[in-house]
Structure 1
Amino acid sequence: MNRLKILVVDDHALVREGLHQVLQGLNEPVEVLEAPDCERAFELAALHPELDLVLLDYDLPGMNGLEALKVLGQAHPELPILMLSGMANPQMVRKALASGAAGFLSKNGHSADLLAAVCLVLAGEVYVPMDLLTPGASPGKSAPQVTPRQAEVLALLLDGRSNKEISEALALTDDTTKNHVTALLRAFDVKSRTQLVLAASRQGYTASPPSA
């Protein structure tokens, strides 16, 4: 059976050990590699091109996590990177996503949050808890016009839902959901779900459950 291979980058041994243990709760076998700094992380990423995911601390000594994110992204553009921080704030989240992170998670969350984030990112989605994005009162005048159904899809996207979960929540076919997401990317003039989350949050859109 194939095993997931995940690299954990954090300068605190106890944090690395804790993340290692939590990752064993995934539904498939996982091998966890550990790096205490950026230099070792770069070495391991080069030695293991089959890596499935990197969990990267934002606050690292020497070269910080944001700089390391850019280096890893240039060397391994297909490798998803989920950033972690114990002092998360909206500005940090936006910087990380703009630099190529596939998601952002606070270390103050629960183990279930980490497992959910890892599964979502491994599925090619973006994970950003809404409490780490600055909420807006309402979409501004310059906000793109979206249909009521697209607004529901967008709210679920902002909630970190995958296309499959959106389809199930709104009773849509997978193709219909994909079409709505494509239309939203076009409306906000962005090319990725990460950019869509950022653009929509800046315009004041927030996550909310769909209308019954």
Structure 2
Amino acid sequence: MLDTATGRPLRADARRNYERILAAAREAFATHGASASLEGIARQASVGSATLHRHFPSRRSLLEAVFHDRVEVLCAKAQELAEESEPGAALFSWLRDLNAYAADSRGLAASLLHDGRGTDFLQRNDGCEMMIATAVGELLHQAQQACAVRPGVRAEDLLTLVNAISLATECHDDNAQAGRLLDIAIDGMRLHECDRVDTTRETPCCIDHERC
């Protein structure tokens, strides 16, 4: 593990402090949003403010570390779902995970991007945007190959959708509305029997449209 500030490997004691700070920051940002007190995070981690700032010279560097860590967990979950579930179910389950994460982050992503300085961080080859785009792209491709999702849906559409839901519901005290909105969107992107096409005949697979 490298020190965020110096880029050098951390000693064992410094690594423990680093992990405690990250754990405290995740909890604080989830509860209080991106403006959570850094001094409060240091107290929760049982370290001094100087130790926190040695590892994370700015609020922004701490936000980036927390954001990246949680996105890695999300993308690992995407791989698990792809291996264990049907393609459509895997995509929809992961979108719900992403939607819940966006709601729980309480402005975390927006705080990184609001002034445009977050672009380089998110678009690095190992950045969060790249990891999420890759995960959703792979799940979507598999779902469309399995005729579970409409062919016109794109990965960027799904990410824009989740972001829009997050922005629209960020002032609510719970995530219930965000979940309902995503469920409505998921129902709209499903490929139903009456929409499926026999590619050998280019005719609808389901002839009885009234039944569909």
TM-score, length basis structure 1 = 0.29
**Higher strand proportion, which one?**
1
Higher Rg: 2
TM-score, length basis structure 2 = 0.29
